Amino acid sequence: MIHSANQITISALLSKDSGGDTFQYVIPPYQRGYAWNKNQWDNLFDDLSENDNGYFLGSLIYILGEENKATVIDGQQRLTTLNLLLLAIYEKLIPLRSNPIITENDDYLEKVVATKKYFLYGENIRFIPSIQNNNKTDFEYLIRKIVKKDESNQPANFGNRRIAKAFKHFSERIDTIIKKDDIKALFDFLDKVTSACVVRIDTKDETSAFVLFESINNRGVPLTPMDLIKNTMISSINNKTAEETNLEWQKVVNNLSDYDVQVRYLRHFYQAFRPIGLIFSPDKGKEKITKNDLIRTYTEVIKDNAENVLAELIKKSFIYKFLSYPENIQEKDELWSKYKNKLFDLKKLGIAPAYTLLLFLFEKYSQQNFANLLDYIEKWFMIRHLTDSPATNRLDEIFIRATETQHNKYNEKSLFDELQKELPSQERIKEALLSKSLYEDNPALIRYILIYLEQQNRTAENKVDFWAVNQKGKAIWSLEHIYPQNPKEGEWNEDCKYGLHSLGNLTLSAYNSNLSNKSFDKKAEDKDKKDNIIGFKSGNVKINDYLRNKDKWCLEYIEERGNQLREIFLEYINSVYL
């Protein structure tokens, strides 16, 4: 099944491996198009930038054909993303080539030349993306423009597609971690990317490749940091049997069943309690730790005081359980039941960096009412996700600082002041809400904001669970384009297409499949089988009130409704700036 399997750096993968071989990587036509979005781009970027050199990125399964053409079966999303990230770095290097810092440093000069070669396979392009969704066309254009200095023939609608957006996003992310003319920082980040590793697996044929792909994706059970830390714990506690210690440890695992949540908990526990000297010395170690630091950091303290470490990890894991799985909060959980709905909303919004702060506060001031704080954090993160400011790689640091303001007593004002100073201007929020590609850029966030606006217009008596799912686990309430993405010819004003993905053309519907691509009048007054109006004019969705007196839909109305929703949103979040 496996012809060969070797760990290899990204640098060697895209140039020559240890055997002197060089490959061209091809995504076959039947593979789906490039599908990664902003969250996945940021996860990869943060993993590379925040961890040490040599970060492991998983496996790459391919079939080696004639002329060293490697048909990629598994790993195309990562491989495409890495190529775009390297291309964004190379674009930053080009104008710096004449800088004396580079011209007088042979190592830097070699890296500039080597980076260019990553994209070339002789006279051809080394990496050939999927032909789906213009991926291949768009990537080849970027190579021509940046590597070959040929800016001719930009593909139509290039900037609206995923390849272009990923490249632009990485270019902007690089700017956030590298100050102007900080050449060393740029090369340090390049080293982190090129030294990252994958296991490159060569299979004999497609059948073998797909069997292996299924095996890796469905049966793989990696040894996690939690497993390794548990083993250290068992070997360090001498007055209990291994079975007894394992049973105690299982309380943590039972509270936090997901691997990602477990890793995040260990990081946040350290960041929340190290500064006050709980388990960890406040005078030693980093301010924040990465996944790669966990085993070493916890092993050191476990060897000194294993029983205390275990007791504290168990105790705090009950708090972290409610933060991470608020859907499981019961009425009997008196301290938590009043926060259940808000914490569930916040989980959907994505506020994980704030869990360092919340873990500390709910532990130290358990009787305090945190309703105002949770409302503030909700508004803070809506602004942050909408504007991408502050940068993702600063969020841990921000909430560590915020936590430190609360060590002696809970002071809401000082906490809000600390968080508020990190936010962008209100003008930046307005600009973000005016974007014509709001839906494409972050559909999950826009759905959240629309649900937020809708909930503010409802009383306790007519509250609706907008996060409800059906028996198949699919969301009942979804984002709906008023002017549809696939309109029927002649049924709509054509100028609507210029506001297709903007705020004013988006709403919520529990009947997306019913409304679909119908004309405006049918969407507005559509009825169910019992003759009840379920369309936009039903009055069931308050953010649709603007539509109730409209008999047509056009760009003017899209922009007017968008401005109306924007002003309402700005009014709600204004308290964050007071």
Structure confidence at residue 216 (pLDDT): 57
Q: Are residues 211 and 257 in the same domain?
A: no
For range 47-60, the mean pLDDT = 92
Structure confidence at residue 226 (pLDDT): 82
Residue indicated by tokens 């560590």? 400
Place 436 in a pLDDT band, splitting at 50, 70 and 90: very high
Q: Are residues 294 and 337 in the same domain?
A: yes
pLDDT in tens, 69-106: 998 888 899 999 999 999 999 999 998 888 888 888 88
For range 209-217, the mean pLDDT = 58
Q: Are residues 347 and 448 in the same domain?
A: no
CA gap 165, 158 in Å, rounded? 9
**Domain that residue 351 falls in:** 233-422
Question: Residue 281 domain-assigned?
Answer: yes
Structure confidence at residue 221 (pLDDT): 42
Which residues 6+ apart lie within 8 Å of 82 measured at CB?
10, 44, 57, 193, 196
- Alpha helix stretches (DSSP H) within 199-293: 206-219, 225-236, 242-255, 259-273
Q: Are residues 203 and 75 in the same domain?
A: yes
Q: Are residues 204 and 157 in the same domain?
A: yes
Q: Are residues 132 and 197 in the same domain?
A: yes
Structure confidence at residue 204 (pLDDT): 67
Domain count along the chain: 3
pLDDT in tens, 479-510: 999 999 989 988 999 999 999 999 999 999 88
Q: Which of 42-51, 172-181, 274-283 has the least mean pLDDT? A: 172-181
The domain boundary residue, chosen from 162, 194, 219: 219
CA gap 294, 260 in Å, rounded? 13
| C-beta neighbour count of 330 within 10 angstroms | 9
Q: Is the pLDDT of residue 566 over 80?
A: yes
What integer best gives the mean pLDDT of the chain? Answer: 90
Is the separation of the CB atoms in 11 and 114 below 8 Å?
yes
Q: Are residues 262 and 209 in the same domain?
A: no
For range 385-389, the mean pLDDT = 96
Q: Is the pLDDT of residue 15 over 70?
A: yes
Place 220 in a pLDDT band, splitting at 50, 70 and 90: very low
Structure confidence at residue 530 (pLDDT): 76
Q: Are residues 375 and 237 in the same domain?
A: yes
Question: Residue 411 domain-assigned?
Answer: yes
Question: Residue 224 domain-assigned?
Answer: no
Which strand (E) or helix (H) includes residue 415? helix 412-420
Q: Are residues 417 and 440 in the same domain?
A: no
Structure confidence at residue 153 (pLDDT): 83
DSSP 35: -
Q: Are residues 158 and 256 in the same domain?
A: no
Question: Residue 212 domain-assigned?
Answer: yes
Place 222 in a pLDDT band, splitting at 50, 70 and 90: very low
Residue indicated by tokens 């299979």? 203
DSSP 573: H
CA gap 166, 189 in Å, rounded? 18
Structure confidence at residue 293 (pLDDT): 87
Q: CA gyration radius for the chain? A: 26
Q: Is the pLDDT of residue 21 over 50?
A: yes
Which strand (E) or helix (H) includes residue 347? helix 340-349
Structure confidence at residue 209 (pLDDT): 64
CA nearest to 21, candidates 62, 74, 75: 62
The domain boundary residue, chosen from 422, 449, 474: 422
Q: Are residues 311 and 350 in the same domain?
A: yes
Structure confidence at residue 410 (pLDDT): 97
Sign of CA dihedral 334, 268, 42, 502: positive
Question: Residue 227 domain-assigned?
Answer: no
Structure confidence at residue 215 (pLDDT): 57
b/e sequence 74-113, b meaning 16+ C-beta within 10 Å: bbbbbbbbbbbbbbbbbbbbeebeeeeebeeeeebeebbe
Q: Is the pLDDT of residue 10 over 90?
A: yes
Token pair recorded at residue 414: 């000082």
For range 148-173, the mean pLDDT = 91
Q: Is the pLDDT of residue 228 over 90?
A: no
Question: Residue 225 domain-assigned?
Answer: no
Structure confidence at residue 2 (pLDDT): 66
CA nearest to 310, candidates 415, 232, 404, 390: 232
Which residues 6+ apart lie within 8 Å of 166 measured at CB?
34, 36, 41, 81, 84
Is the separation of the CB atoms in 406 and 415 below 8 Å?
yes
Question: Residue 228 domain-assigned?
Answer: no
Q: Are residues 103 and 135 in the same domain?
A: yes
CA nearest to 10, candidates 48, 41, 39: 48
The domain boundary residue, chosen from 371, 392, 422: 422
